Chains A and B, each alone.
Chain A
């Protein structure tokens, strides 16, 4: 899977949890999930669980703490996939 494909797959997941006032085209790599995309912490957990299923990886509490932006999420996915 290329980086672009991973990014697209992640965006498809994020899209489900975006509030109505945020459009998927507003999602950039440096977007902060909570402060910029208005995703609450409960929905961020759902994003993580969907990411786990979609990429067949498992995230830990430290990964969750690190996951502030879309770029953070992509890096965590890359790391987990490379460890497999």
Chain B
């Protein structure tokens, strides 16, 4: 029993270490918490607080989370966090460089301020430093907000 608890705590520490590795910070960090990252995918949460700057302009007096921000949130949790896990699994201490290379998203429901969303990603492939994932975002009621495919190139400094 004790060993099991220890494993769980270690796992949570590792998940926090992934968040600490992220190259983003406020106001462009869209990951609050990771609940699972393994070789097949990642899952995490983010709460869109009403004071986020873009709500002032999207839209005038009618704050709705922009689709590009939902895409970014899906990419940070679903692709970048998974990428960090996959590269670290290859035991690399090198600094990571990454860039989104493509995204194809469908938006099904608006996300209003104060919503806590959950992002779930599933790896399609990770080869030759390209990571492509299927991503889905759910609202706090479990409704599907958006879904699609996002790919990015993840390299380390020395890979050139």
A47 to B56, CA, bound (A): 42
The DSSP consensus for interface residues of chain A is helix
Which A residues contact B (CB, under 8 angstroms)? 40-43, 45-46, 48-49, 61, 64
Q: A45-B127, A48-B128, A49-B127 are in contact. List 7 more A-B contacts (CB 8 A).
A: A41-B129, A41-B153, A42-B101, A42-B151, A42-B153, A49-B125, A64-B128
Does B130 make an interface contact (CB < 8 A)? yes
- B151 surroundings in chain A (CB, below 8 A): 42
- A64 surroundings in chain B (CB, below 8 A): 128
Evaluate contact between A42 and B127: CB separation under 8 angstroms. Answer: no
Does B102 make an interface contact (CB < 8 A)? yes
Task: Kindly count the residue-residue contacts between A and B in the assembled complex, taking CB atoms under 8 Å apart.
Answer: 22
- A61 surroundings in chain B (CB, below 8 A): 128
The DSSP consensus for interface residues of chain B is strand
As a 0/1 sequence over residues 64 to 92 of chain B, the CB contacts with chain A under 8 angstroms (1 = contact) are 00000000000000000000000000000
What residue of chain A has the Cβ atom nearest to residue B100's Cβ? Answer: A42
Min CB gap B36→A, angstroms: 26
Evaluate contact between B128 and A40: CB separation under 8 angstroms. Answer: no
7 contacts between A and B (CB under 8 A): A42-B101, A42-B151, A45-B127, A48-B127, A49-B125, A49-B127, A61-B128
As a 0/1 sequence over residues 131 to 156 of chain B, the CB contacts with chain A under 8 angstroms (1 = contact) are 00000000000000000000111000
A78 to B152, CA, bound (A): 30
Please pick, from B101, B125, B129, the residue contacting A40 in the complex, using a CB distance under 8 A: B101
Evaluate contact between A42 and B102: CB separation under 8 angstroms. Answer: yes
What residue of chain A has the Cβ atom nearest to residue B101's Cβ? Answer: A42
- B129 surroundings in chain A (CB, below 8 A): 41, 45
- B125 surroundings in chain A (CB, below 8 A): 49
**Which of A41, A42, A48, A49: most chain B Cβ within 10 A?**
A42
- A43 surroundings in chain B (CB, below 8 A): 101
A48 to B127, CA, bound (A): 10
What residue of chain A has the Cβ atom nearest to residue B102's Cβ? Answer: A42
A49 to B124, CA, bound (A): 12
| 3 closest Cβ pairs, A-B complex | A42-B101, A45-B130, A45-B128
Min CB gap B144→A, angstroms: 27
- A49 surroundings in chain B (CB, below 8 A): 125, 127
